[in-house]
Amino acid sequence: MALIECRHLTKTYRRGNTTITPLDTLDLDVETGMFLALMGPSGSGKTTLLNLVAGIDRPTSGSLRIDGEDIANYSRTRLARWRSEYIGYVFQLYNLVPVLTAYENVELPLLLHSMTRRERHDHVQTALDLVGIADRHDHYPRQLSGGQEQRVAIARAIVADPKIIVADEPTGDLDRDSAAEIMALLQQINEELNRTLIMVTHDVQTTDYAKRTLHLEKGKLLESGDEALSSKSLARDQRHA
C-alpha cells in the first residue's frame, strides 16, 4: 500500500459566477521514501495538491488516504493533531518568526507535543546539527542569509520527525549556489532519514535531486514514471550540451 493514495481527487471553488477547478479527478500513489517533484505552469494545481496532502485544505470530492486513513473526513481538531505528527512544511519565503531565534523557531512545532524541556532541546539540537546551522542557533532571522534561513526552516520542518515533508518552491528565493546546497540537504534528508518528500518547483534543475517528476496542467497529470524521468534526463542533457 502506498503511503499517499489519491483517487479521483478534485478541488473546486467559486470566483464570482465562475467555477475554478485546480485539481480534476487526479489519481496518484506516492510510496514511502519517495522524493517527488511537481512541475507545471502557474495555476496548474501543484500547490493545491501540496496543501491537500498537508491537510491545510480539503478536497471537494474524491479520496485522499495517507497511511491508510482518509484525512478528508477528519474534524478540524483531529486534522490539526494529525498535521503535527505527519507533516513538515518548507515554504519559499521561510516563514520564520522574526522575534524568535533560530533555536526558538525550530522549537515551535514541539510545543504542540507532550515533551519535557530536555526532550525538546535534544530534538532541536539534532535538527540544527543535521542542517548544519547549530552554530547560528542564537541568531535572529535578520542576522541570517537566505540560505541559512531556509536551513532553519528545514530544521523546523523535520524537528518533530514527520513522515512527510512538503516543500513549496524551497529554492525560489535563493541564488544558484544556495539553492544547490538546500537541494542537496533535502536529498540527504530523503535518503538518510527515508522521509517522503513532495516538492513544488518551477526550476527544472532542482528536479535532478528528485526520484520522480510529475507534470500537472489544468489540474491533470500529464506524465509520470518513466516518461517524467526521460523528460528530466533530456532537459539535463540539453543543459550540459
pLDDT digits (tens, 9 = 90+) for 185-218: 999 999 999 999 999 999 999 999 999 999 999 8
Q: Does domain 4-240 have CATH number 2.120.10.70?
A: no
Instruction: Between 233 and 110, name the one with better pLDDT.
Output: 110
What is the value of pTM for the model shown?
0.88
Q: How do residues 9-30 score in pLDDT, each as one tens digit? A: 999 988 888 999 999 999 999 9
Q: In this structure, are strands 35-39 and 87-90 parallel, antiparallel, or unpaired? A: unpaired
Distance CA 162, CA 168 (A): 17
- Cβ-based neighbour number of residue 186 at 10 Å: 26
Q: Under a CB-based contact definition with an 8 Å cutoff, are residues 10 and 25 in contact?
A: yes
Q: C-alpha distances in angstroms, 58 versus 21, 30, 71, 79?
A: 13, 18, 9, 10
pLDDT for position 229: 43
Residue pair 186/151 in contact by the 8 Å Cβ criterion = no
Residues across the chain: 241
